Chain A
Amino acid sequence: MIIYKTFFKVLNKCKFPVILYTVLLLFFAGFNMSSNDKSMDFTAEKPEIMVINHDKEEGLTKNFIEYLKQNTVIKDINNDEESIKDALFYRDVQYIIYIPENFGEKFLDGKNPQIEVKSTSDYLSTLANMIVERYMKVAKNYVGSTSDNEELFSKINETLGKKAEVEVTSKMDTSTISRLTRYFNFSAYSFIAISIYVICTIMLKFNEDKIAKRTAIGSIDYKKINLKLLIANSGFCFAIWGIYFIFARILIGEIAFSEYGLYYALNSLIFVLSTVTLAFLVSKFVKNKNTITAFVNIIGLGSSFLCGVFVPMEFIPDFVLKIAHVLPAYWFVSNNELIGSTEVFAGEFFKNFCINGAVVLGFALVFFIATNIVSKKKVEK
């Protein structure tokens, strides 16, 4: 009983970091609230662009800008060199168009005036480029076919207005599910950080030489102590797990209680087991409070950066992901991604889900055994 009493006393001192990492998680979840589009109709993505018009806004130029307004989002940015440069650099806009003086007039004269553009070379800017090029091509083809500008513009617009039919085949609520995936992915960081911080702080108290000696002399053997502490620590971490699951329901919605939620929950439960045992192992090497924060940061941030917790896995270079195989977080995140991309929970899914889960459990087992070996060696000393 004394062990549990001391446990909760020390736990009380760890309030601040526990709250900190939880707030980070919630902040992150809140930050990703953005697109929550449940409609099944296709909506075209619109690149964000900036138009710097040196021409008069009339005639062809006016028509061109109208067209751009329909197909892109024209951002209102201060028209000074610095703001423009910054906007492009920070991807506030993906594309900037400089319309030269007398552009419309020259164009209608059948000349081919030059338009200058700046782009970020990403997908949206490529789309923006296509949109601009499209107008030029179509307009050029119509120029000269009629002398009535209004007729010309309406012909151009009519052609540009022709659409292809698009059918969205999936019935998945992809945006909500991907939010849930990201939420659980990020929770890996909070779980690792909290487990190591709390468990190491508590174990530091118990491992402190004087206490360690006393308990080693006492009637309980180290295995029993370890087990008791493991139970207490696990209990705490599972409580955190439960709280995080409830937060998922509150922040992201009913989907947390759907079949998806069930698998996410199961996956993170297994993961918590690995973080608890890992923290337990780390605690055997912790000598003071400073080393705890060092471990929290190196293991927590390291796992998170390498395994796709902060940055989606698809963006992480292959060689990094290969290294990440030696970390439980990699398998945890892989499983989250697997759940998020699955439509029907059957055959192939279960196989892969179990493999990932088993690897994480394997890690937990290895950590647990290693901890016992280390503490046995310490007692022998």
Chain B
Amino acid sequence: MFFKNFKYTFKALLRNRGLVFWTIAFPLIMALFFKMAFSGIEEKETFDAINVAVVSNEYFENDGILKDVFRTLSDPENEDQVFNTSYVEEGEAKELLQDGKIDGYVVFSENAPKVFVTKNGVNQTIFKFVVEEIVQSSDTADIIQAKVEKMFKEQNSGGFWNTLGMIFAMMQENRSNIKDISDANLSYMTIEFYTLVAMACLYGGILGAVSISWCLANMTNVGKRLSLTPVSKIKLVLSSALAGYVIQLFGIVLLLILTIGVLKVDFGNKIPQIVILSVAGSMAGLTMGIAVTTGIKASENAKTGILIGVTMLWCFFAGMMGVVMKYVIDKNIPIINKINPANMITDGFYALYYYDTLDRYMTNIVGLCIFSAIMLAIAIFSLRKQKYESL
């Protein structure tokens, strides 16, 4: 009897196109959309040489050092390349700037160099900053002259600018002792995909909600009929819920295969933990679905509406509509995300991806278990009823 009910509930759920669309197909489609829309963002944010122009006036052309500096800074071979520099007449530079082909241009003269830009921005600031560095390095020249005196004498050359050039070259070589210890996994766009898995886990609960409603006499007509069969309610409810859960997990597996295998989203490489988190997340979705369907008095449409609405709100707090939201909530109103299952799932994946230790991951797993237990308690409270006041 357990298997009979499981088999037919499974069949009926799978044949319900609306359900399958929302719980399985929709997250897959969203994953594709996310990939298409978001994959370029981080690439564009990663520092890339800035397009600038230098007005090739007489002053610049006669200044070997300046030319050298810009050559080095614009050298594609140089790993610290900052600029893509065009050397043009002032008129052309203006045009390039107007058309948005460059972020700014600089005019060198006897006076302080002058930078032209169309707006405030990071690129413009960096450009200005580097030009300033050139000005400042000439300033330090006097003071450090003594330091390079030896070298200067050995080279046996003269002239202020040549000296400056040597010094500048020395400064370039004499790198500051800065060690980059950045973490490897900093791709925050992965959060979007984690929230998507979270959404799929919680949406999957609709399957459980529907399959349970089929067992309950006070909810559906087939429920009345099933209540009169000589099969215990526990058996019915468990086998129906299991059918929903299996389909739900199947959807999650498809989503993980698509995101990890095909779209190459980085989930870290702790596969067993990823699976455990998905199973726990789906359980949270399932129990929430059952709790809503048994605990709230409303039409079936209204219940599905509530499930979708609540899920979307939770995903919003977990960063689906903007990763920053998750951080803002985590930092300022942590309690919201501590009870938010979508965030627990998202944060669990984040912890697996970004953290070396499993502490934070475990916290989320435990959180999901507690959430599921509470939902289950609510569900059991109303599931226990065998006779009703009205139908």
Do A and B bind?
yes
Task: Say which one of B123-131, B149-157, B279-287 lies at the interface with A.
Answer: B123-131
Total A residues in contact with B, Cβ cutoff 8 Å: 79
Name the segment of A203-211, A230-238, A266-274, A312-320 touching the other chain: A312-320
If the complex has contacts A88-B183, A122-B45, are A306 and B37 also in contact, measured as CB distance less than 8 A? yes
Could you say which residues of chain A place their CB within 8 Å of the CB of B327? 86-87, 90, 92
**Docked CA distance A134–B186 (Å):** 26
A297 engages B143 (CB within 8 Å):
no
In the bound complex, CA of A152 to CA of B139 (Å): 14
Contact A145 B146 (CB under 8 A): yes
Q: How far is the CB of A107 from chain B (nearest CB, A)?
A: 10
Is A226 at the interface (CB under 8 A from chain B)? no
Residues of B within 8 A of A130 (CB): 126, 129-130, 133
Name the distance in Å between A137's Cβ and chain B's nearest Cβ. 6
In this assembly, does A286 line the interface, its C-beta being within 8 Å of a C-beta of chain B? Answer: no
Q: How far is the CA of A82 from the CA of B183 in the complex (A)?
A: 13
Nearest residue in B to A107 (C-beta to C-beta)? B177
Say yes or no: A310 contacts B37, CB within 8 Å: yes
Q: Is the CB of A169 within 8 A of B30?
A: no
Q: Is the interface of B mostly helix, strand, loop or mixed?
A: helix
Given contacts A44-B125, A126-B47, contact A159 B118 (CB under 8 A): no
Residue numbers in A under 8 Å from B121 (CB-CB): 45
Q: How far is the CA of A118 from the CA of B186 in the complex (A)?
A: 11
- Asked whether, in the complex, the Cβ of B174 is within 8 Å of the Cβ of A142, the reply is no
Q: Is the CB of A162 within 8 A of B139?
A: yes
B303 at the interface (CB under 8 A from A): no
**Residues of A contacting B82 in the complex (Cβ-Cβ under 8 angstroms):** 126
Binding-face segment, A53-61, A109-117, A276-284: A109-117
B62: chain A residues within 8 A (beta carbon): none
- A sample of 20 inter-chain contacts (CB < 8 A) reads A44-B120, A88-B182, A89-B188, A115-B177, A116-B178, A116-B179, A118-B181, A118-B183, A121-B182, A137-B174, A142-B144, A145-B144, A164-B112, A164-B128, A167-B115, A168-B117, A169-B97, A290-B17, A297-B26, A343-B98
Residue ranges of A at the interface with B (Cβ–Cβ < 8 Å): 37, 42-45, 82-83, 85-92, 98, 112-127, 129-134, 136-138, 140-142, 144-145, 155, 158-160, 162-170, 172, 174, 290, 294, 297-298, 301-302, 305-306, 310-311, 314-317, 320, 323, 341, 343
19 new A-B contacts at CB < 8 Å, known A88-B183, A127-B122, A162-B135: A37-B120, A44-B128, A87-B327, A90-B323, A112-B176, A112-B177, A114-B179, A120-B186, A127-B125, A144-B147, A160-B136, A162-B132, A164-B114, A167-B116, A169-B117, A298-B29, A305-B36, A315-B37, A343-B98
Q: Closest 10 A-B residue pairs measured CB to CB?
A: A136-B176, A90-B327, A170-B118, A305-B33, A305-B37, A126-B47, A290-B18, A45-B125, A123-B122, A320-B36
User: Which residues of B are at the interface with A, using a C-beta cutoff of 8 A?
Assistant: 17-18, 21, 26, 29-30, 33-34, 36-41, 44-47, 82, 94, 97-98, 100, 106, 112-126, 128-133, 135-136, 139-140, 143-144, 146-147, 171, 174-183, 186, 188, 323-324, 326-327, 330-331, 350, 354-355, 360
